[in-house]
């Protein structure tokens, strides 16, 4: 049996901030250590080079004394050769007599230094050791025709040792400063995050409220988050409002057919004669169809109002292809209803920015409304026309009884039906059309037909093809 995995550790904003600060601080500390060591070594080299030059000059002056001649006194030789670590070397050579003294044949410069010039400093290799040497040339006082070349050299050990000591002191001090800075950062981050406490308290104090949480005390760095949450709350409020409205509408619209179903069932049970049962079943069938149509239209209305089109990815919809095909699919149904359904318009491409399924739902509801209220023997014509500004007009016109002018403005209201209509509609078809048009930023206009009846025109805005995805 596999052991359960331990719960994943939650991410910490404070820990992330400190880690993001700690890594570059450590990198900077290492870089600073390298630079500090380089500076310290440069300083140590400069000091030791100066001392080495002074030693070479002092030794040359001692050797140039007439009283000493070209031989070193035992005391001078002892001072020059004494080095318990074996890090110092010297050599004295004469231009006439060769090597006079020294603790090794130190490599000499290819070109001897000029008489009376400052000591020449250079690096050399002797006895598998890298040495720093200083060479100076002086006159031999006992022999005006002779000159002495004095070379003093030392290993680089003392220089590196001094540089490490300086580096150690600097790193200890800088590490202490960095620790202090990190402690201050820790305190500052902890202190700074307390600014979120009022926002947390406001959210914790809420139960079912979805009001905006943004306020004057919210830091500007957190404002994008609170704005996103407020936008989410706004969408949730809209969804909950649609949910409540759907429940209220369903309860209101389904009450009548359900009550009728119950009455006809009771009538059939009370009077089992075949003619009574058949009549009750016919009423039950009509009421069931009415309830099913009302339910589907309520769902269509809720779907049309659910979300703005921009959040679902609008596309380029070719009305020149979509509308004729949608009208052709309704021909057989129109024939059964005794209606002459036709199409007038170009089949050339005519694009709008929208959603093909929603546009087809809109057209279906317009045709259903015309078929239902125009009646048998009527003529229904679907028009599609391109406008000069790049938009499109889609209209459905019938020659039915029409609508009084004073009621035109109410046709988009939910559950509104013109008085005197004999058709048992739900009053939701044109409300669905209005909601879909609103999602497409289109305008719905109600007019009287050319002869009589009703003309419903949907005016789509111009389309920017570069802003949408082609279907």
pLDDT digits (tens, 9 = 90+) for 286-309: 778 767 766 766 666 666 665 555
pLDDT digits (tens, 9 = 90+) for 354-401: 888 888 888 888 888 888 888 888 899 999 998 888 889 999 999 888
Tokens of 215: 């306020």
What's residue 64's pLDDT? 63
What's residue 27's pLDDT? 84
**464 three-class SS:** coil
Which among 456, 438, 437 has a CA at the least distance from the CA of 447? 456
Q: Where are the domains positioned within the chain?
A: 14-164, 224-306, 312-470
The answer to whether 396 and 367 are in contact (CB under 8 A) is yes
Residues constituting the chain: 471
* H-run or E-run covering 256: helix 223-270
The answer to whether 136 and 148 are in contact (CB under 8 A) is no
What's residue 383's pLDDT? 93
What's residue 247's pLDDT? 67
What's residue 457's pLDDT? 92
* CA atoms lying within 13 Å on the CB side of residue 373: 27
The answer to whether 405 and 418 are in contact (CB under 8 A) is no
For the chain, list residues with pLDDT below 70: 1-10, 13, 64-87, 103-105, 141-143, 206-209, 214-218, 221, 242-256, 290, 293-294, 296-314, 415, 417-427, 464-471
- Does the domain at 14-164 match CATH 3.40.50? Answer given as no
pLDDT digits (tens, 9 = 90+) for 418-448: 655 555 556 677 887 888 888 888 999 988 8
DSSP designation for 11: P
| Contact partners, residue 258, CB within 8 Å, separation at least 6 | 291
* CA atoms lying within 13 Å on the CB side of residue 84: 0
The answer to whether 370 and 396 are in contact (CB under 8 A) is yes
The rounded distance, in Å, linking the Cα atoms of 133 and 87 is 12
What's residue 111's pLDDT? 76
* CA atoms lying within 13 Å on the CB side of residue 321: 8
Within 243-335, strands assigned E span 315-318
What CATH number does domain 312-470 carry, 3.40.50.1000, 3.30.1180.10, 3.30.565.10, 3.30.70.20?
A: 3.30.565.10
Residues 238/239/240/242 CA torsion (nearest 10 deg): 90
Query: Where on the phi/psi map is residue 205: left (φ > 0), alpha (ψ -120 to 50), or beta?
Result: alpha
What's residue 395's pLDDT? 92
The answer to whether 352 and 393 are in contact (CB under 8 A) is no
Class of domain 224-306: mainly alpha
The answer to whether 367 and 430 are in contact (CB under 8 A) is no
- Measured CA to CA in angstroms, residue 371 lies from 254, 285, 364, 381 at distances of 23, 21, 10, 11
Alpha helices in 307-418 (DSSP H): 319-329, 331-336, 356-374
Which among 372, 359, 370 has a CA at the least distance from the CA of 290? 372
């Amino acid at each position: 049996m596999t052991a359960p995995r331990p719960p994943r550790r939650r991410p910490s904003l404070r820990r992330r901030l400190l880690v993001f600060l700690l890594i570059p601080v450590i990198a900077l500390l290492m870089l600073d250590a390298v630079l500090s060591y380089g500076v310290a070594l440069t300083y140590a080299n400069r000091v030791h080079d100066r001392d080495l030059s002074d030693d070479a000059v002092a030794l040359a002056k001692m050797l140039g004394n007439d009283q000493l001649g070209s031989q070193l006194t035992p005391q001078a030789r002892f001072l020059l050769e004494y080095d318990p670590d074996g890090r110092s070397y010297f050599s004295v050579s004469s231009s006439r007599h060769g090597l006079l003294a020294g603790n090794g044949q130190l490599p000499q410069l290819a070109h001897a230094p000029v008489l009376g010039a400052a000591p020449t400093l250079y690096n050399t290799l002797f006895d598998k050791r890298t040495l720093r040497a200083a060479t100076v040339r002086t006159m031999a006082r006992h022999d005006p025709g002779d000159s002495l070349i004095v070379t003093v050299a030392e290993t680089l050990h003392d220089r590196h040792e001094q540089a490490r000591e300086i580096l150690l002191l600097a790193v200890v001090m800088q590490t202490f400063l960095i620790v202090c800075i990190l402690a201050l950062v820790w305190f500052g981050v902890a202190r700074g995050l307390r600014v979120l406490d009022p926002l947390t308290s406001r959210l914790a104090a809420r139960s079912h409220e979805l009001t905006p949480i943004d306020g004057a005390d919210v830091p500007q760095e957190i404002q994008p988050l609170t704005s996103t949450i407020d936008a989410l709350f706004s969408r949730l409020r809209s969804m909950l409002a649609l949910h409540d409205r759907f429940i209220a509408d369903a309860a209101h619209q389904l009450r009548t057919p359900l009550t009728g179903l119950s009455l006809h069932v009771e009538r059939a049970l009370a009077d089992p004669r075949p003619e009574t049962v058949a009549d009750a079943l016919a009423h039950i069938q009509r009421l069931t169809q009415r309830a099913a149509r009302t339910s589907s239209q309520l769902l269509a209305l809720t779907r049309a109002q659910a979300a703005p089109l921009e959040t679902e990815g609008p596309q380029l919809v070719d009305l020149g292809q979509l509308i004729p095909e949608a009208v052709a699919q309704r021909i057989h149904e129109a024939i059964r209803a005794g209606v002459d359904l036709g199409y007038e318009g170009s089949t050339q491409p005519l694009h709008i920015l929208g959603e093909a399924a929603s546009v087809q739902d809109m057209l279906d509801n317009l045709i259903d409304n015309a078929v239902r209220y125009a009646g048998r023997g009527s003529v229904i014509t679907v028009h599609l026309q391109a406008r000069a500004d790049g938009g499109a007009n889609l209209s459905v016109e019938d020659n039915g009884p029409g609508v009084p002018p004073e009621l035109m403005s109410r046709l988009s209201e939910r559950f509104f039906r013109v008085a005197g209509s004999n058709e048992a509609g739900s009053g939701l078809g044109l409300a669905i059309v209005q909601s879909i048009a609103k999602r497409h930023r289109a305008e719905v206009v109600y007019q009287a037909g050319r002869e009589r009846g009703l003309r419903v025109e949907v005016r789509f805005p111009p389309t920017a093809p570069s802003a949408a995805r082609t279907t």
